[in-house]
Amino acid sequence: MDIFAKLGFRPIFWSDGHLIVLDQRKLPTEESYIRLETVEQAVMAISDLIVRGAPLIGITAAYALTLLPNISDNLAFENSCAMLKSTRPTAVNLSWAVDRMAAFYRQAVNRENLADDLLAEAVRIHQEDAESCRKIGDHGNQVISDPCRILTHCNAGALATGGIGTALGVIYTAFFSGRKIEAWVDETRPVLQGARLTAWELSRAKVPFKLITDNMAAELMSRKLIDLVIVGADRIAGNLDIANKIGTYGLAVLASYHDIPFYCAAPTSTFDTACPDGRSIPIEFRAEAEITAMFGKNIAPENCPVRNPAFDITPNELITGIITENGILKPGRQGLR
């Protein structure tokens, strides 16, 4: 399934020696692309959420390392790796992709063709993620009833990955295979990835959905209007605790109380066995203005104290299953130590 043909956009692509990315900050009102010509520009694109989603920022970082003017400058390459890895600490796909590119760089025998070979490795990372998304969709389709009303949080679709998405990939696969699907889309405060991005994607794919505020999920569950919850992940610990967009933990608690299956969908590049559990996962804190202002206007008193963690941790015992390209893991019974 070429989801990009159905949606009419590509979040990232390589063209004429440059990396082109869709500016996700401007969606849904404006669809514009930015050309990245340096590592520094790629760092800015990741930090400022021009590109976002754990798999996609890993892909972006891989391509970024091919933009160095002198690819044989070992020090510049290592410094670029460090700079990219520091941009967003929670999403492990970023460091995974950078480390893979660095290992390829250090082991390359043919230094004359290093630039082309390094680009080919970045393309492989991109293609492999697209294939992982396809397989995640296929495995996830097994847990989707017909009909099925699915709640999702943040954006884990084509805008966040190299393919059809993880959580949305499951929804797309089920929908295009003929199942009667309706999605509930959390707005996902404070940056509104659900309202701005997921709703935009689903409307383009013609998947039936309704947008809700983050605090409406409990009411819907109490009325038995949600059959299943499916989210993505930015890092999965060795014991299968997951870090995902803030608000995920609350949804897992609600789903558990209302006896609703709660699934996470993520590629194996999101797993971090170096983190034994969720408490070991670094949590990114973002700017206060994301909470105190919206669309350039203040919505809180001046100098209002703010706490703005971008992610929370959902313990494995609240997770029904983690859907990967290799199948579905059952947390609480299987770990990755």
**The domains spanning 3-133 and 142-329 adopt the same CATH topology:** no
pLDDT at 31: 96
pLDDT at 57: 97
pLDDT at 332: 60
Look at the domain 142-329 and name its fold.
Rossmann fold (3.40.50)
List the domain boundaries for the chain: 3-133, 142-329
pTM listed for this prediction: 0.94
Going residue by residue through the chain (337 aa), what tens digit of pLDDT does each one get? 678 888 889 999 999 889 999 999 999 999 999 999 999 999 999 999 999 999 999 999 999 999 998 888 899 999 999 999 999 999 999 999 999 999 999 998 677 789 999 999 999 999 999 999 999 999 999 999 999 999 999 999 999 999 999 999 999 999 999 999 999 999 999 999 999 999 999 999 999 999 999 999 999 999 999 999 999 999 999 999 999 999 999 999 999 999 999 999 999 999 999 999 999 999 999 999 999 998 889 999 999 999 999 999 999 999 999 999 999 998 864 444 3
Residue pointed to by tokens 């610990």? 237
Burial of 223 (0-12, 13-18, 19+ CB in 10 A): exposed
Residue pointed to by tokens 């066995």? 273
Residues with a known catalytic role: 234
Element (H, E) at 148: strand 148-152
Q: The dihedral of CA 107, 110, 113, 117: what is its sign?
A: negative
Q: Does domain 3-133 have CATH number 1.20.120.420?
A: yes
**Cβ(118)–Cβ(101) under 8 Å?**
yes
